[in-house]
A and B are shown apart, each in its own frame.
Chain A
Amino acid sequence: QQQVKQSPQSLIVQKGGISIINCAYENTAFDYFPWYQQFPGKGPALLIAIRPDVSEKKEGRFTISFNKSAKQFSLHIMDSQPGDSATYFCAASRDDYKLSFGAGTTVTVRA
């Protein structure tokens, strides 16, 4: 049983559009929420991460929104580019380094 539920499974967005990926968790002990980006044939790479004491974190075109009361967090990719086409994973951990991953979202950006 996955501790982090991720949706959608896949999405297609036009170049310049916004991609939104949502994740939900049940374990209130989770206190670290990273997002990973994975290209075909490669390992996941850390994209951006947030802790529950902030509601939003932005790095370039990538923004995490965090809703502690709803136990949900999301990744927004602004001005999506073809190079953003990849699989994105949300994850969570609780005061240790063991990550629980979501199932992944495949993002396709059409030029």
Chain B
Amino acid sequence: NAGVTQTPKFQVLKTGQSMTLQCAQDMNHEYMSWYRQDPGMGLRLIHYSVGAGITDQGEVPNGYNVSRSTTEDFPLRLLSAAPSQTSVYFCASSYSSGQGDYGYTFGSGTRLTVV
């Protein structure tokens, strides 16, 4: 069981370039989400999905797009990279126990630097 797989692990972009961060899960989880982690700010929600074909914005969505064509995959697209998007990005998938517990599994992260 691989869990949540993120690629690439490291990436350097030039300002204005676009790229896609890949995320795949093999646990058949309904929910998937993208967070960014910045020093002193914890993790902030970028976009999330409650199932294939359904996505919505989180706390910091500007400059990012997502789509969810399958249960397994939830790619994050940076449209035109800016230095402010330098961060560590985490993909997570989760389930609901139906009793208010949400079992999150995070990927190992993508460290992105925009120069």
Contact = CB atoms under 8 A, between A and B. Distances in A.
Interface in A73-111: 89, 93, 95, 97-104
Dominant secondary structure of chain B at its interface with chain A: strand
Contacts of B45: 98-100
A55 to B, nearest CB: 17
B42 A2 contact: yes
B92 to A, nearest CB: 8
Nearest to A4: B42
A26 interface: no
A6 interface: yes
A93 B90 CA distance: 18
Interface in A2-41: 2, 4, 6, 9, 31-32, 34, 36, 41
